[in-house]
Structure 1
Amino acid sequence: MKIFIVEDDISVIKILEKIIQDRELGTIIGYCDNGIDALEEIKKITPDIVLVDLLMPGKDGISLVKEIKNDISKIQFIMISQVTSKDMIARAYEKGVEYYVNKPINAVEVETVIKKVKEKIEMQRMLKEIKRVFANVNVQPPQINNYYNKEKTNTTDKIKSVMNKLGILGENGSEDIIEVVDFLTNPQNDKSNYSIKELCSKFTDNPKSMEQRIRRAATTGMVNLANIGIEDYMNEVFVEYSNGMYNFEQIKKEMDYVRGKSNNRGKVNLKKFIQGMAFYCEKK
């Protein structure tokens, strides 16, 4: 990861530089001691992460973040400050700061926050690659005379389409999801109120392992949705699935975790996830 530092205290820059190098958190590609020079330098070299002081002469950190975010939204900002004003911190978050490190600098806190930012960047890159790979995919179901087989193929395509949007198509557990949801959407099957374990036991002698695979895939989908919501709260995939297949409060928890605002992650209600998947696959 390419890291840039904007800080008017050279001793703080040296401390950050040492922490980043010693803990192999990334490569420092430059630093500035004022916001005015930093504005042009950051636009020119486009680092992945910028650690920026809140209060600086000439141009403060919040103004700097706002101007750069308008042009280069992908850069992630970590605010550094000893200011504890909730209003000031709220303004920083509003302008595009996702993470916050307190002064005096604590090495463990710096490492934890930078690692969270790196996870977010890597997730965004993965989502971008998934969208690129599947952007032009046009699934053509085979021509089968048997009506039930046609319906089965159509349902499988719908399941894959939903999983693709969640970024979990191809995840370990995706084939298990297809089997379970296909079973639930088949009108020939009994629609009793099965538990997840009971459903899995219809397909394997080891239902616990199957359930764990489905849960991991569903959790990956939740993490992907949280990242999509952070990028674009009105994104149609986020709006559609964050409440339809997950508990929205848990999605918000995951978003706060990704932003570095909380240490608590969101949790998946597996039954709601499976029922939601079945609902979207039956939806006309």
Structure 2
Amino acid sequence: MLNTFLIIDDDINIRKMLKHLIIKNNLGKVLEELDNGEYAAEEILFYNPDIVLIDFLLPIKDGIEIIESAKALGYNGKFIMISQVEDYDMIGKAYENGIVFFIHKPINMIEALNIIKGVCHNIELEKSVALIKNAVFNIEKSSYITDKPSINNQMINIFTDIGIISESGSNDLINVIEKVLIFKRKNFSSNYQLQDIYRKIAEEENAIKNTHINARTIEQRIRRTILKALENVAVLGNDDYYNNKFIEYSTILFDFKQVKQEIKHINNSKEDRGKINIKKFIEGIISKLNF
């Protein structure tokens, strides 16, 4: 079943471009388009689309206000934010409010298509899990263990593609993603807290290895590994902007503006490095997994 969309942007050309992209690639149906934020939360509740494409800066109410209001009213769909904002603190605020995927202005069609496809894949995954839960009252832990090797193999293949399989934090990343998948299966939600998962992993490692590491250590190892992945993907794009792996991973795992910033750093060490968001990276990896 195709997904449904609602597009909120005050630029009619952006709305037309996104609608054309969705229809041309058979991603779903656009139910409605809005050009301001005045009654956007109520419209979202009325149409109840699977995905809302929403501009960061809108007349009357901004995108963050609309997202907060829609969630408070009970909307549980996905938001993809469209933004020309450069301030990383403002973007960080959007991540805190549940945005995982950004499409940057001016819109890059490859970036937009990959991001929308990734979110659609996440929705398919969640719907599949819901169907399984309806058919089977309780998913036993053993069923997860049965699936685990194939999931591990997929993650290993992705980590190999982006050059981090030998990094010290790659096992931590795999551990985190496995725990997120378990959480999603039990809770049918993306509202997990990474700090809770880091603490759990630290406790497990301390018990097994008789060490005394904490959640911060786990987070630092993971952050260094993802930064290495960003560097590797940026190198691919610097050598060949149309490299298949660059196209595949630069938008789904990272904020594309930060990938371009990392490319600038590669060519001029005086430039700042690109930044990463751990939750976006994890959700991007999950969007690539097949269950």
Q: Which of residues 22, 25, 28 is equivalent to 2:27? A: 25
Q: Which of residues 73, 89, 109 is equivalent to 1:107? A: 109
Q: CA deviation at 1:47?
A: 0.5
1:85 aligns with 2:39: no
Larger Rg over CA atoms: 1
Provide, for residues 55-89 of structure 1, a one-character-per-residue CA deviation record: whole Å limited to 9, x for no partner.
Answer: 11111001001111223352110110111101110
Match in the other structure for 1:231? 190
Listed as ranges, the gaps of 5+ residues in structure 2 are: 157-173, 206-214, 227-277
Q: Is the contact made by 1:168 and 1:221 (CA closer than 8 Å) also made in structure 2? A: no
Q: Is the contact made by 2:4 and 2:50 (CA closer than 8 Å) also made in structure 1? A: yes
Letter in 2 for 1:162: K
Q: Secondary structure at the match of 1:36?
A: coil
Letter in 2 for 1:225: K
Classify 1:119/1:224 alpha carbon distance in 2 versus 1 (closer, same or farther; 3 Å).
farther
1:257 aligns with 2:281: yes
- RMSD of aligned C-alpha atoms? 3.9
Match in the other structure for 2:43? 41
1:51 aligns with 2:53: yes
Letter in 1 for 2:22: I
Letter in 2 for 1:100: F
Q: Distance in 2 between matches of 1:6 and 1:79?
A: 10
Normalised TM-score (structure 1): 0.57
Q: Is the contact made by 2:118 and 2:288 (CA closer than 8 Å) also made in structure 1? A: no
* Amino-acid identity (%): 31
- Count, aligned residues: 198
Q: Is the contact made by 2:82 and 2:102 (CA closer than 8 Å) also made in structure 1? A: yes
Q: Which of residues 58, 63, 71 is equivalent to 1:61? A: 63
Q: Secondary structure at the match of 2:39?
A: helix
Q: Which of residues 162, 166, 175 is equivalent to 2:141? A: 162
Match in the other structure for 1:186? none
Q: Distance in 2 between matches of 1:263 and 1:213?
A: 13
Q: CA deviation at 1:52?
A: 0.3
Q: Distance in 2 between matches of 1:28 and 1:214?
A: 33
Classify 1:133/1:63 alpha carbon distance in 2 versus 1 (closer, same or farther; 3 Å).
same
Q: Which of residues 67, 74, 77 is equivalent to 1:75? A: 77
Q: Distance in 1 between matches of 2:106 and 2:88?
A: 18
Classify 1:31/1:133 alpha carbon distance in 2 versus 1 (closer, same or farther; 3 Å).
same
Alignment of 1:112-191 (within 5 A): 112-136=114-138, 161-164=140-143, 167=144, 169=146, 171=147
Letter in 2 for 1:45: Y
Match in the other structure for 1:280? none
Greater CA deviation, 51-60 or 15-24?
Answer: 15-24
Q: CA deviation at 1:14?
A: 0.7
Q: Distance in 1 between matches of 2:78 and 2:197?
A: 21
Q: Is the contact made by 1:123 and 1:224 (CA closer than 8 Å) also made in structure 2? A: no
Q: Is the contact made by 1:25 and 1:111 (CA closer than 8 Å) also made in structure 2? A: no
Classify 1:134/1:224 alpha carbon distance in 2 versus 1 (closer, same or farther; 3 Å).
farther
